[in-house]
Structure 1
Amino acid sequence: MKKIATLLLAAGLVFGVATGASAIDFKAKGQWIMSFDYGQNGNFMGKNAGHTQTGYNGKEDDFEARQRVRLQLDAVASESLSGTVGFEIGNTIWGKNSDGGALGADSTDAIKLRWAYIDWMVPETDLKVRMGIQPLATPAYASGNSVLNADVAAVVASYQINEMAGVTAFWARPFNDNFAGYTDKYEHDGWRANYMDNMDMFGLLVPLTFDGLKVTPYGMYAAIGPNTFRNATTEKDAEGEWPAKMTNDAFGNIVGADKALVAGGLLPVGGARHKDFSGANGARKLSSYGNAWWGGLTGELTMFDPFRLAWDFEYGSVTWEDDGRLNRQGWFASLLAEYKLDWATPGLYGWYSSGDDNNPSNGSERLPALGYENTNKYSNFAFDGDPYIARDHMFGRNMAGTWGVGARLKDMSFIEDLKHTFRFNFMGGTNSKSMAKKMSRAGLWANGTGLDEVPSFGTRQGGTFPLGHEEMYLTTGDTALELGLTNTYKMYENFTISLEADYIALWLDTSKSAWGARHKEGMSIPQTKDAWNINASFVYSF
């Protein structure tokens, strides 16, 4: 009898577990990418003028093989409650030990948490809430996201007022509790660990939908702690003073790759500089929060389908009460017109973004940006537009400080499941040539390994080797031509093969009024070389 009771109890427990489990619907999604690149002159320099770098850009070989895996698991309890977790493995360069691609392939550094959030609805209402680490982006209908497109810890609330209007509000915390403080904590209590090192963002979007027209105005504010990007140190300077008293750059040593990219979009090039571009050292110690805000209006007109007109407009400002030389403010505008045919969608587009004037001491006049994955719909090579993991963002991750016009034939198809997209872009810079002259005399070069937004610089091969991600700094005297062809073949329902070829010709102003000012300092001018790359990607998505 006891055995029978035990068996019944065990069966009940199993049944109970099965019943509980069946109440949750698990859904899995994923994507595998195998990517192969071959290209040259990835920093527009190659081997010339005494520069002896090897490979594509001094960091990668001409030929590279890499892969990336993304896995997402959704636990759905009902239409009102679900949870999502997403992981990314890679990007892994084949053979590279630190990426987990070397023999043995046992590195755990390549495994990253991408998303971890819950979705729920307030009972008896249409209010939706998402909490956790999630993708967050500012709206864009034409060119792509110029301000924010990243994974971030946030709370997002959305409410559909009626068929025509909705509202979305969010609070996000990109950075907090990363400042380790300084050892001289008794003399400088304001530099203790985690002191004023948070960055908080607040945003409001109002998507409006009419018959044949969509418009989304938005606004966003961010408070940036003075220690958000600072690193700690236990060493004194040459005068025996602690960094709290040093006139070092306002952000000191930037912590973490993501922080470097974000700080690069918020600060002027070179950090706090004087009128002649001298002395990043000299920025005043920041002791109060910086204020950043953005406003935008983006939309599309489809009432004359198959004709479509789309636009993006954004303005942003970052100000520091302690040192106006670190201020940055600017705007960006883009317009796209396209017409959908049976065999392709031809389109014409253009963009313009404000650029720096000739006075670095008054800060920057370029649009500040927060994200570092600002996908671009016009360019797969010059900017961050490739949908997979091919080499891209040759000029940077957003279009700040540039202008351009372009044409494309999108999704040409003459054979079932085979599509082609051809792009032609002619572009240039909107920054003052006098800035190039001043930078050049300071030993900084527009190409080479790039001129970064991050305010800490080092040198490599006689050019500029910035900390963080490389960015090109283009002036009104610099122009470039980009050609791109993307071919995609859908072999199976979940398997796509992509073959892409991209080419950029760059013409820099090497006169003495711009980058050629290096001659006065006895420095050579590296010869620019055209960059090109061919990529083959094999993508399995489910």
Structure 2
Amino acid sequence: MKRLGSLALAASMVFGAIGAAHAATEVKMTGDARVYGNFFENRNYTGWNKTGTKTEDTFEIWERFRLRSDFVANEAVKFRLGIKVEDTWGHGTFTAANPDTAVQVDLAYLQFKVPGCDGVEVTAGLQDVNLPQSGLFYNSPVFSDKMAALTIQAPLIDKTLGVLAGFGRLIDTNRTYDTTTTQKADDLDAYFLALPVTLEGFKATPWAMVSVAGRSADYTYKDTTDVAEWGNNYANTLVSAASAKGMTTPGSLGYWKNDQNAYYWAGGAFEVTALDPVKFYADVIYGAGAMNDHKAAKRQGWMIDFGAEYTGLDVVTPQVFAFWSTGEDKSTRNGSERMPYMRSQWGPGNSFLFDSSQDLGKGSNMYTDPVGNYGIGASLNNISFIEKLTNRLTFVYVRGNNSARAIRDSQLYYANGYFSMGHDLTYNEYVMGVNFDTKYMIYENLAAVLETGWAHGDFQESVWGHRLVHQANANGDNSWKVAFGLTYKF
């Protein structure tokens, strides 16, 4: 009863605050919910986690609820608060008895239009930041996530040229005071700029980002999601294999001599619709970092993608696409030849191989890294022969662009999880995946979703070791997923 009383008091305070705000502002709420069962067999091709120390549970039920509340003073000023609850049934929030309530704040920003400056909009706070990417490829391989940032959007030439500029702080490990009286470089900051150009039949968005990385920042991304199981933390995605071993350990091969190192990216996203219904998409990105530090600490590389689709049919949209990214050479002592990145979400055709546009998100894919690999694929998108029912069929083939020796040496000498089997591929390895996805609109905002995926790989025992490769072979080098659930948007 005491617990119920506390919840009732908290609820009354929330609704009381909303009621008070309503007198002076307008409160608008939007959100979404999804509940789905996920059967996933042979994760990472082995049925284990990436290091082979944990065994999978093949079936789990996920639930997520997100609520976005906009407190609108007028058409020029608003504040958005976004909260999220997400976990599996039987764990945490969804435990049957004495649940651990885990409400996360995942958006919190102030947004306003600058008086007297037509179209200039400022956003300050925790917000979505997605670097530009062409429409056929979901989000950015460099950064696509929440960021505590200040951004400014403005039109430079009406309906032709705009600008997006921003600053974000991704990490501040020690906050107000460092651990000693000696100043520590414990921050990771980012400055970004985009200039979208729109002409008849053509759109181009050149962009750039500079990030200043402190040697003493904690680059371990603390999370309990599938992404963390893949080691998709800042250390593994920004720095070289040698630096990931011990950036702050004097005498280690990749030790940073500089307190701070700059990382920078430059790219362009392109879309051509002049030949509609045939449309073309492309992206070019170059990234580099720690270029003025020790040779072993440097990292630089390229990534490009290209795709086309035909939108002239009512019942299906055929799509083809390809991508290529530089990979590691034979030596880990000369740094890394892969493009650095921070928080990646990228993939064409809702592919089962990549972390991209899956409706049923957690445990949804193989988390194959596009960086350091190359591949081709095709998709039959928006298949629709029955009203309210749509399907998608996608096939992707990926091959590694990394030297086997570099990955083998990293596994042998550094043992830091910098590379993972199936996530990173050598010249001699490949993976391929097929997904067939179905969505039926029960009502306007309520959908039943079925996502299925199959992946197959071929891996080198001399690189990953007998234990992991033998276990994958025992499973036929195959992974399977079937997920079914409901999604509701309001």
Q: TM-score, normalised by structure 1?
A: 0.77
The one-letter amino acid paired with 2:435 is G
Shift of residue 307, structure 1, vs aligned partner:
1.1
The one-letter amino acid paired with 1:139 is P
Q: Tell me the residue number matched to 1:81.
A: 77
The one-letter amino acid paired with 1:534 is V
Q: Tell me the residue number matched to 2:137.
A: 143
Question: Which of 296, 305, 308 is the equivalent residue of 1:334?
Answer: 305
- Contact 2:173/2:218, CA 8 A, preserved across alignment: no
Q: Tell me the residue number matched to 2:107.
A: 115
User: Over residues 254-300 of structure 1, what are the superposed CA-to-partner deviations in whole Å (9 max), with x where a residue is unaligned?
Assistant: 363489612221012353679xxxx9944435542111000011111
Shift of residue 79, structure 1, vs aligned partner:
1.9
Q: Tell me the residue number matched to 2:89.
A: 94
The one-letter amino acid paired with 1:410 is N
Equivalents in 2 of 1:179, 1:365: separation in Å?
Answer: 33
Shift of residue 434, structure 1, vs aligned partner:
1.9
- Contact 1:273/1:361, CA 8 A, preserved across alignment: no
Equivalents in 1 of 2:470, 2:242: separation in Å?
Answer: 21
Matched, 1:540 2:488: yes
Secondary structure in 2 aligned to 1:475?
A: coil
User: Structure 2 vs 1, CA of residues 320 and 103 (structure 1 numbering), >3 Å: closer, same or farther?
Assistant: farther
Shift of residue 507, structure 1, vs aligned partner:
0.7
Matches within 5 A, 1:192-231: 195-229=184-218
Matched, 1:306 2:295: no
- Contact 1:272/1:325, CA 8 A, preserved across alignment: no
Shifted more, 116-125 versus 376-385: the winner is: 376-385
- Contact 2:243/2:256, CA 8 A, preserved across alignment: no
Matches within 5 A, 1:423-462: 423-439=394-410, 441-442=412-413, 452-453=417-418
Matched, 1:371 2:343: yes
User: Structure 2 vs 1, CA of residues 378 and 331 (structure 1 numbering), >3 Å: closer, same or farther?
Assistant: farther
The one-letter amino acid paired with 1:143 is F
User: Over residues 62-94 of structure 1, what are the superposed CA-to-partner deviations in whole Å (9 max), with x where a residue is unaligned?
Assistant: 11111111110011122211110101101x111
Equivalents in 2 of 1:140, 1:167: separation in Å?
Answer: 15
The one-letter amino acid paired with 2:141 is S
The one-letter amino acid paired with 1:541 is K
Matched, 1:295 2:266: yes
Shifted more, 258-267 versus 284-293: the winner is: 258-267
Shift of residue 24, structure 1, vs aligned partner:
1.8
Question: Which of 456, 472, 485 is the equivalent residue of 2:423?
Answer: 472
Matched, 1:103 2:92: no
Shift of residue 176, structure 1, vs aligned partner:
1.2
Matched, 1:408 2:379: yes
Shift of residue 132, structure 1, vs aligned partner:
0.5
The one-letter amino acid paired with 2:36 is S
Matched, 1:159 2:154: yes
Secondary structure in 1 aligned to 2:45?
A: coil
Equivalents in 2 of 1:171, 1:182: separation in Å?
Answer: 23
Matched, 1:515 2:480: no
User: Over residues 23-46 of structure 1, what are the superposed CA-to-partner deviations in whole Å (9 max), with x where a residue is unaligned?
Assistant: 522110111110111121102113
Shift of residue 323, structure 1, vs aligned partner:
3.0
Shift of residue 390, structure 1, vs aligned partner:
4.3
- Contact 1:179/1:227, CA 8 A, preserved across alignment: no
Q: Tell me the residue number matched to 1:422.
A: 393
User: Structure 2 vs 1, CA of residues 434 and 88 (structure 1 numbering), >3 Å: closer, same or farther?
Assistant: same
Equivalents in 2 of 1:52, 1:329: separation in Å?
Answer: 30
- Contact 2:328/2:337, CA 8 A, preserved across alignment: yes
User: Over residues 355-408 of structure 1, what are the superposed CA-to-partner deviations in whole Å (9 max), with x where a residue is unaligned?
Assistant: 010110111111111114x14233432110213324234144x41011110010
The one-letter amino acid paired with 1:101 is F
Secondary structure in 2 aligned to 1:515?
A: helix
User: Over residues 167-224 of structure 1, what are the superposed CA-to-partner deviations in whole Å (9 max), with x where a residue is unaligned?
Assistant: 11101111114379897x4xxx43x6xx221111111100000001111000110111
- Contact 1:199/1:225, CA 8 A, preserved across alignment: yes
- Contact 2:242/2:254, CA 8 A, preserved across alignment: no
User: Structure 2 vs 1, CA of residues 337 and 64 (structure 1 numbering), >3 Å: closer, same or farther?
Assistant: same
The one-letter amino acid paired with 1:87 is I
Equivalents in 2 of 1:356, 1:219: separation in Å?
Answer: 24
- Contact 1:325/1:363, CA 8 A, preserved across alignment: yes
- Contact 2:242/2:253, CA 8 A, preserved across alignment: no
Equivalents in 2 of 1:349, 1:137: separation in Å?
Answer: 21
User: Over residues 476-509 of structure 1, what are the superposed CA-to-partner deviations in whole Å (9 max), with x where a residue is unaligned?
Assistant: 1101110100000010011011101100000113
Q: Tell me the residue number matched to 1:256.
A: 222
Secondary structure in 2 aligned to 1:526?
A: helix
- Contact 1:94/1:101, CA 8 A, preserved across alignment: yes
- Contact 1:204/1:219, CA 8 A, preserved across alignment: yes
The one-letter amino acid paired with 1:256 is K
Secondary structure in 2 aligned to 1:504?
A: strand
The one-letter amino acid paired with 1:346 is P
Equivalents in 2 of 1:263, 1:20: separation in Å?
Answer: 43
Q: How many pairs align?
A: 452
Shifted more, 28-37 versus 383-392: the winner is: 383-392
The one-letter amino acid paired with 1:151 is K
Q: Tell me the residue number matched to 1:42.
A: 43
User: Structure 2 vs 1, CA of residues 207 and 525 (structure 1 numbering), >3 Å: closer, same or farther?
Assistant: closer
Equivalents in 2 of 1:282, 1:443: separation in Å?
Answer: 10
Alignment root-mean-square deviation, CA: 2.9
Percent of paired sites with the same residue:
25
- Contact 1:288/1:321, CA 8 A, preserved across alignment: no
Equivalents in 1 of 2:42, 2:60: separation in Å?
Answer: 14
Larger Rg: 1
The one-letter amino acid paired with 2:482 is I
Equivalents in 2 of 1:52, 1:198: separation in Å?
Answer: 33
User: Structure 2 vs 1, CA of residues 351 and 391 (structure 1 numbering), >3 Å: closer, same or farther?
Assistant: same
Q: Tell me the residue number matched to 1:351.
A: 323
- Contact 1:164/1:209, CA 8 A, preserved across alignment: yes
User: Structure 2 vs 1, CA of residues 349 and 333 (structure 1 numbering), >3 Å: closer, same or farther?
Assistant: same
Secondary structure in 1 aligned to 2:406?
A: helix
Secondary structure in 1 aligned to 2:455?
A: strand
Equivalents in 2 of 1:273, 1:362: separation in Å?
Answer: 15
Secondary structure in 1 aligned to 2:333?
A: helix
The one-letter amino acid paired with 1:155 is L
Q: Tell me the residue number matched to 2:453.
A: 502
Matched, 1:391 2:373: no
User: Over residues 326-379 of structure 1, what are the superposed CA-to-partner deviations in whole Å (9 max), with x where a residue is unaligned?
Assistant: 22111110011100111010011100011010110111111111114x142334
User: Structure 2 vs 1, CA of residues 400 and 113 (structure 1 numbering), >3 Å: closer, same or farther?
Assistant: same
Equivalents in 2 of 1:411, 1:280: separation in Å?
Answer: 56
Q: Tell me the residue number matched to 2:4.
A: none
